[in-house]
Structure 1
Amino acid sequence: MASRASSDSAAPAKIPLLGTSWYRRGVGYWFRRVAAVGLQIVLASLFGLIPVAMWRGVESGLPTGWHRAVNIAMGVLGLVFLVRGWITGQRIVRAKLADPPTPERAWVLRRQRRSGRGSANPDFGRRGGRLLFFAPLFPPCVAWWIGMLCGVSWVRELPSEVGARNALNRP
């Protein structure tokens, strides 16, 4: 009979977002993956409404004949930025797959990302005017962000899964 210590070492490690569901890839695994991607896209889309509303304000000040041309230009820019974001996301995944994180490292990276959130930028007051100057480019930038999120999320296997699988297969 195998000892308890040897059976515990063969158990799959928990990784952020997926827990141990990555090992069997059952219904819970796919539910978590789809829910995470769906939530990210919904939040990015809601965040994207702000620049679109700002753009509508800028557009309303343009001469009447320019509306259609400017909207077509913004649509083309949005599509180009969306594709560019997808390519950036795929490059990020490829780089992470080249050196996948171990489960412990994945948790450390998650904690580091979380601790960096919510920190106020004390320099925003001086840069705020410049940000408003570039307000017409905000919708394409949000399209890039959505493309990058999709490029990173819509992969067959996450880098943290590869790292956990490698750690599980190591002697």
Structure 2
Amino acid sequence: MTPTDIPSLQGLGTTWYRRGPRYWLRRTFSALFLLTVLAFFCSIALRLYLGAPRSDLPPGPRRIWDMAQVIASCVTLALGWVKQRRDLRRQLLDPPTPDGFRAAKRREAGRARYWSRAGLVLLLLAAPVLPAFAAWCVGWFLASLTVREYPSEVGARRWLEVHNGQSGTS
């Protein structure tokens, strides 16, 4: 199979087909970039939380509120992980074709632009519960980064089987 017959996947190019060193290097750099963004988001969430009206509370209720935040963050981290794993499992049962994957990414990008603008106001209003939301995001993204194979790769392999009569790595 020539490289021109292999569909290119966003973020992986055609390296997903052979899953060699270039593939793992791309996945590693993507994961490191995403973890850096998550660390930045979590630090902002923590700073907003610490500057929220929580500082107006007396020491006793503040300690209770902080413990509630820690518990909520642990619970939402696990919920984010579980949600993403279930979504990935569902996607693996019916993986997207390369064209379907690109179309889904375009739709997600449009929604992300909308929420990034509208989300700034919500972010400031949600400051008292922002650490729990950040923990949910961490769980969700960690679950997506730790899969052996992405649903888009499975879909591309199935697409290759149908269109070229071949599958697997060479």
- Give the TM-score of the pair, scaled to structure 1: 0.81
Corresponding residue to 1:166 among 145, 158, 162: 158
Question: 2: distance between equivalents of 1:51 and 1:84?
Answer: 18
Matched residues, percent identical? 33
Q: Could you tell me which residue of structure 1 aligns to residue 168 of structure 2?
A: none
Secondary structure of 2:59's counterpart equals coil
Deviates more, 1:61-70 or 1:76-85: 61-70
1:155 Cα deviation after fit:
0.4
Q: CA RMSD in A?
A: 2.7
Matched, 1:21 2:21: no
Q: Could you tell me which residue of structure 1 aligns to residue 129 of structure 2?
A: 137
Which has the greater radius of gyration?
1
CA displacement 1:36-66 (0-9 Å, x = unmatched): 1221222122122222112112332221234
Q: Could you tell me which residue of structure 2 aligns to residue 3 of structure 1?
A: none
Question: 2: distance between equivalents of 1:29 and 1:50?
Answer: 32
Q: Could you tell me which residue of structure 1 aligns to residue 31 of structure 2?
A: 37
Question: 2: distance between equivalents of 1:120 and 1:107?
Answer: 20
Question: What letter corresponds to residue 69 of structure 2 in structure 1?
Answer: M
CA displacement 1:75-130 (0-9 Å, x = unmatched): 121111101100011011011111101112112222222234323788x5xx94x7
- 1:82-161 correspondence runs (5 A): 82-119=77-114, 128=121, 132=124, 134-161=126-153
Structure 1, unmatched stretches of 5+, are: 1-6
- Deviating beyond 4 angstroms after TM superposition, the runs of 4 or more aligned structure 1 residues are 7-10, 130-133
Length, aligned pairs only: 162
Give the helix-richer structure, 1 or 2.
Answer: 2
CA displacement 1:13-37 (0-9 Å, x = unmatched): 2111111111111111111112212
Does the 8 Å contact 1:102/1:160 carry over to 2?
Answer: yes
Greater length-normalized contact order (CA 8 Å, ≥ 6 residues apart): 1
- Give the TM-score of the pair, scaled to structure 2: 0.81
Secondary structure of 2:6's counterpart equals coil
Question: 2: distance between equivalents of 1:149 and 1:96?
Answer: 16
